[in-house]
Structure formats: C-alpha cells, structure tokens
Amino acid sequence: MSAGTVERVRAAIRDVPDFPKPGVLFKDITPVLSDPALFVDVVETLAERYRPMRIEKIAGVESRGFIFGAPLAARLGVGFVPLRKFGKLPHATVAETFDLEYGTETLEIHADAFRPGERVLVVDDLLATGRTAEASVKLVRKAGGEVVELAFVVELAFLAGRKRLDGIPVYALVKFE
C-alpha cells in the first residue's frame, strides 16, 4: 500500500470519545467503509500482501472482521469462515470464552471449518489488548487450522496486544502508537 493510501485510511478513521464506556477513545472505521475507493484500496492492499502466502481460508471475527475478511477471501479465491458470537452458528461448534475489558465473551466456529493443518489468515478491524485475537487463534487451532498471520486495519500499539499472540505474525495497515 502506498504511503498516500495509509494516510487516507488514517485520516478517515474517526475518534469517538467515551465509547463504549467513559474513558475509551473508540477508533471508528465506518468512514473507511463509506468511501468506496478507499475500501477497495484496503481490500486490494491486503490481497497483495496475502496472495504469495498460500492462504487457504480466511477467518473473520464477528462482526467487523466479516466486512474486510469476506471480500478479501473472494479476492484471493479462498473460503471464508465466520468466528461468531455464542449461539449464532447452526451446526456443531467449538468455542472459546475469554475476558474483555468490560465483560466476558464467547466465540464459536463450526467444528468442521478447516481441514487439519489448513493455512488460515485471521482478519479483524482492530487490535487493541489482543484478547479477542488471542481467543480467535485458539479457536482456529481447536478446529484444526494453522494460523499463518493476523491482519487488522488498525492497531492500537500502545495497548501491546501483540504480546498476547504467542509470536504469531501480525499485520496492521495503520498503527496508533
């Protein structure tokens, strides 16, 4: 991605103070989505990065990971697997429960989502503390996949989420230090 595109993405991200609770500065990516040229640039930039990596499936984390992961999977010609909140998937699942800053969450995936050892890219919009990303990695592994990398549009590097990710490579288009 060109430096100009990175700056366009950075400029489009809107700060929303005190959301979802007082003291949190939320990084809102919806302006990136509402700009069709910028959204296409983001998906194509990710596709350029991942084409040579032999990714076999993309796992998108509910819900904003779906927004970027599904078109990326289509662009790469690979399958898309949703990591859903508890109770949303209709078939046999495996689950991972984890703590968030403001509660507990459970993600699920279909138990047959991956062939053993299948190369998986996990996609979400934002890496903050790393708790959701860490749970996503555990869940993909439980279902038999091999996490090749985690991809994010935004990383809040000052929250050190990478430290929770067991050395798995992380890529973020835009980092806030």
- For residue 156, the enclosing domain spans 54-176
Q: Which residues are paired to 110 by β-bridges?
A: 93
CATH number at residue 63: 3.40.50.2020
Q: How far apart are CA 74 and CA 50, in angstroms?
A: 12
Write the CB contacts of 22 (distance below 8 Å, at least 6 apart in sequence).
none
Q: Which of these is catalytic: 48, 101, 115, 146? A: 101
Which stretches of the chain score pLDDT less than 50? none
What pLDDT, on a 0 to 100 scale, did the predictor assign at position 24?
86
Residue 73, domain member (yes or no): yes
pTM: 0.95
Residues 108-120 have pLDDT tens digits of: 999 999 999 999 9
Residue 13, domain member (yes or no): no
Instruction: Give the Å distances, CA to CA, from 171 to 16, 39, 77, 85.
Output: 24, 17, 20, 24
Residue 94, domain member (yes or no): yes
Q: How far apart are CA 63 and CA 155, in angstroms?
A: 17
Tell me if residue 64 is catalytic: yes
Residue 115, domain member (yes or no): yes
Tell me if residue 51 is catalytic: no
Residue 46, domain member (yes or no): no
Closest Cα to residue 114, out of 137, 132, 130, 135? 137
Q: How far apart are CA 163 and CA 8, in angstroms?
A: 28
Closest Cα to residue 120, out of 131, 129, 109? 109
Q: Which of these is catalytic: 64, 84, 134, 155? A: 64
How many residues appear in the chain?
177
Tell me, what amino acid is at 165?
L
Residue 8, domain member (yes or no): no
Residue 120, domain member (yes or no): yes
Tabulate helix, strand, coil % of the chain (nearest 5).
Answer: 35, 35, 30
What pLDDT, on a 0 to 100 scale, did the predictor assign at position 1?
52
Residues 136-169 have pLDDT tens digits of: 999 999 999 999 999 999 999 999 999 999 899 9
Residue 25, domain member (yes or no): no
Number of domains in the chain: 1
